[in-house]
């Protein structure tokens, strides 16, 4: 599956690859009143703020034991030793009002702050997947360590207004993230010189986009962020994911052939109507040529082309979102970033390969950036969850939202770049 398709969150993959079209969300009415919830929370020992990647493995088991299960965290947050404020902010050029949660430490303002940017799909502010809430956990550890955090529902999701469908591009969503940054700039509790962005998957790419655009952004964290859209990398990623999911060598080879044809149509045919017809022909020809045994195998693979999934997949490939994605070169943006950057990737991530870290490092070097860290983290998948192979099935049965040592790593790094320098 092409690179952009592969960064879809698994909840959306289940819909798209089952032939069910992505929902279109209509704008909702939202209140303009802020709500603050003051609470007290049972103490949780904070780790020393260090950024030594060598300690990552050693911390892993300890942090897992100290942390609460992700399914229980939302209840614990009701007793948190920080303030949680419901906020609204507006992407004025787009006319979209977004709803989010701003968590503030109880003392020590003005605080450094971050905006959390989720990956592709219909994501709420907690970045919920299979009841696990990655951004809720990330906001929790950061705020406990003195960092204010703004996380928000994507446009068209939950309490946010606007519409989210495949006509909404990464550039559009970057405008929403910039609006979140602007909101923080107008908060008296925030240190306006220490506002950063943290993004996952497509959100990592968007974080870099807005950091290049807004020179007030003080740092960037890319979590399994998109670094390249080269067709050869795309095909390699897809082959590795299919392999992890148990595909035969013949299926992987056949998929590569049809996928390359699909990508080239999208790249070289600008007319959507013509492109759709060509895509339908290519996919139909591919499916017809498969034996019954091969068709049965394809139907067991989340990323494989099948007759049932063809219409949804073709619409996605031919969408404005995907066309923008293929035309956008993340490297051009990365070359403009000179603020501190932390880029991390799991070694078993076949959705955005860890080799993308090399692309990020090379681009930042060209920018003259002397303060960046890239880390490949062993045995973690695209969601930065512990795994053995990186198969789709492992995502569905995961017992954590994100590896706890990754949360600590990010928190330590952000504290080092902000509070430790005050």
From CA 101, how far away is CA 115, in angstroms rounded?
10
Q: Which of 128, 146, 12 is nearest to 74 (CA)?
A: 128
From CA 27, how far away is CA 30, in angstroms rounded?
9
For each of the domains in the chain, give its residue range(s) and CATH number, in order of start: 31-229+329-421 (3.40.50.1820), 231-326 (no CATH)
Is 70 exceeded by the pLDDT of residue 38? no
Is 70 exceeded by the pLDDT of residue 78? no
User: For position 231, what pLDDT does the model report?
Assistant: 83
Q: Which of 42, 200, 184 is nearest to 103 (CA)?
A: 184
Task: Read off the pLDDT of each residue in 366-391 and give the average, rounded to a whole number.
Answer: 97
User: For position 75, what pLDDT does the model report?
Assistant: 56
Is 90 exceeded by the pLDDT of residue 71? no
Is 80 exceeded by the pLDDT of residue 17? no
Q: Taking all residues of the chain, what is their mean pLDDT, rounded to a whole number?
A: 85
Task: Read off the pLDDT of each residue in 245-267 and give the average, rounded to a whole number.
Answer: 96
pLDDT band for 422, please (50, 70, 90 cuts). Answer: confident
Q: Which of 159, 166, 89 is nearest to 121 (CA)?
A: 166
pLDDT band for 73, please (50, 70, 90 cuts). Answer: low
> Hey, how many other C-beta atoms are within 10 angstroms of the C-beta on 178?
20
Task: Read off the pLDDT of each residue in 195-219 and give the average, rounded to a whole number.
Answer: 98
Is 60 exceeded by the pLDDT of residue 21? no
User: For position 162, what pLDDT does the model report?
Assistant: 97
User: For position 74, what pLDDT does the model report?
Assistant: 55
The model carries a pTM of 0.84
- The per-residue pLDDT for range 364-375, each reduced to its tens digit, is 999 999 999 999
């Amino acid at each position: 599956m092409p690179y952009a398709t592969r960064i879809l969150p698994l909840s959306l993959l289940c819909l798209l690859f089952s032939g069910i079209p992505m929902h279109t969300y209509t704008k909702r009415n939202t209140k303009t009143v802020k709500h603050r919830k003051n609470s007290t929370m049972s103490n949780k020992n904070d780790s020393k703020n260090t950024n030594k990647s060598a300690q990552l493995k050693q911390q892993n088991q300890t942090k897992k034991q100290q942390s609460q299960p992700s399914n229980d965290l939302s209840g614990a947050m009701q007793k948190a030793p920080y303030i949680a404020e419901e906020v609204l902010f507006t992407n004025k050029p787009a006319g979209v009002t977004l709803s989010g949660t701003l968590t503030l430490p109880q003392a020590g303002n003005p605080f450094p702050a971050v905006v959390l940017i989720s990956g592709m799909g219909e994501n709420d502010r907690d970045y919920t997947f299979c009841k696990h809430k990655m951004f809720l956990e990330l906001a929790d550890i950061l705020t406990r360590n003195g960092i204010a955090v703004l996380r928000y529902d994507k446009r068209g999701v939950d309490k946010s207004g606007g519409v989210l469908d495949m006509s909404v591009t990464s550039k559009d969503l970057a405008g929403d993230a910039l609006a979140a940054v602007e909101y923080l700039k107008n908060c008296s509790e925030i240190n306006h010189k220490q506002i950063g962005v943290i993004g996952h998957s497509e959100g990592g790419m968007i974080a870099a986009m807005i950091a290049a655009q807004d020179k007030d952004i003080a740092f960037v964290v890319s979590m399994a962020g998109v670094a390249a859209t080269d067709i050869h990398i795309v095909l390699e990623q897809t082959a590795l994911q299919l392999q992890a999911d148990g595909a035969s060598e013949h299926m992987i080879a056949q998929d590569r052939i049809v996928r390359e044809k699909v990508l080239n149509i999208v790249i070289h045919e600008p007319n959507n109507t013509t492109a759709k017809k060509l895509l339908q022909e290519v996919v139909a020809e591919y499916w017809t040529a498969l034996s019954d045994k091969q068709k049965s195998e394809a139907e067991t693979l989340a990323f494989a082309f099948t007759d049932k999934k063809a219409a949804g997949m073709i619409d996605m490939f031919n969408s404005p979102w995907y066309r923008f994605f293929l035309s956008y070169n993340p490297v051009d943006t990365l070359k403009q970033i000179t603020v501190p950057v932390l880029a991390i990737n799991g070694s078993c991530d076949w959705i955005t390969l860890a080799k993308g870290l090399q692309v990020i490092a090379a681009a930042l070097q060209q920018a003259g950036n002397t303060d960046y860290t890239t880390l490949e983290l062993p045995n973690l998948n695209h969601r930065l969850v512990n795994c053995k192979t990186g198969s789709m099935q492992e995502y569905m049965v995961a017992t954590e939202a994100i590896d706890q040592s990754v949360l600590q790593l990010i928190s330590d790094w952000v504290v080092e770049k902000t509070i430790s320098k005050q």
